[in-house]
Amino acid sequence: MRVDPSYVTNLVSALDASQGREQQLTNELSSGLRFNALGDDPVSAGRNVLLLNQIQRDDSFTQSSSLVTGQLQVADSALGSVVSQLTQAISLAISANNGTMNASDVQSIGAQISGILSEVESLANSNYQGQYIFAGGQTTTVPFATSNATSPSTTTYSGDSDVNYLETPNGQKIQLNVPGNQIFLGATSVFGVLNNLVADYASGVVNTAQATQDTQALTSALGTVSQQRVIIDNSMTQLTAAAGAITTERTQLAAAQTSLMQADLATVATQLSLSKTQETALESVIAQLGSGSLFDKL
């Protein structure tokens, strides 16, 4: 009885396929991964790349948000201190304006307000990790400087009006800064009013109408600072919420990526055992064909 030559060829091909499958299963078992090369499972490999890109995007945002959170916290703290300083200055000015103080006491209040001006300027020049946070986009430039060459003194701004944003992975933009000119040199200039008040009390003789007007202006300036601080507070709230959402998403993506990549070791071990059994059977049949024993049985 003759045997079709293609029969042997088919057996050899089946053996090669079995050995290939066995090698793949062995790799899965040793690595714990469902596939180790693109050719093993192109579809799953493509999905894995997409998941990894999303995870990297979320990790990048988390790192950035951690950095800018510190910057926002410094800005909020600085503006909180400015509010306290301006509140104290208003209280001092009201005392000086009531007409009951002598010249020495009035000059003393002027000196205290001058100290407050210096403290507010220092706060307006706050920096975080070497970057001036109220300089707009000119973060390496000291934003505010006061010159005593004139009376009242003048405070100038060397920053710009640039506003920076951080974009979340879902496209939300969070404001990261408020330029110093918007906070301190708005419709009513914090520094302009403080410089005027220092000049109002320098001689010890109070022009009540002028000093009262400047005190009211400082109250208005204080309101502006408080309003700008709200922007910073809102940004911190938005950033905290976004960071929490991204952390949750990142956890879900990591779980999906692990599920996609991780091999079911028990199933793989069973499949490997079956593959080895099939390989042994094929080798036995081929060996019998080669020895002629199978022909003898036909």
Q: What is the pLDDT along the chain (298 residues), one digit of tens a residue?
A: 455 556 556 655 665 565 555 556 566 555 555 555 545 567 667 787 788 888 888 888 888 888 899 999 999 999 999 999 999 999 999 999 998 999 999 999 999 999 999 999 999 999 999 999 999 999 999 999 999 999 999 999 999 999 999 999 888 999 999 999 999 998 899 999 999 999 999 999 999 999 999 999 999 999 999 999 999 999 999 999 999 998 898 888 888 877 666 654 555 556 656 666 666 665 666 666 666 544 454 4
Q: Check if the beta carbon of residue 228 is closer than 8 Å to that of residue 183.
A: yes
Q: Check if the beta carbon of residue 175 is closer than 8 Å to that of residue 163.
A: yes
Residues 6+ apart with CB under 8 A from 49: none
Topology given in CATH for the domain delimited by 74-255 = f41 fragment of flagellin, N-terminal domain (1.20.1330)
What tokens were used for 42? 């192109």
Residues 6+ apart with CB under 8 A from 72: 176, 232, 235, 236, 239
Q: Check if the beta carbon of residue 165 is closer than 8 Å to that of residue 159.
A: no
What tokens were used for 45? 């490999």
134 DSSP 8-state letter: T
Residues 258 and 48: their CA atoms lie apart, in Å, by 9
Residues 236 and 234: their CA atoms lie apart, in Å, by 5
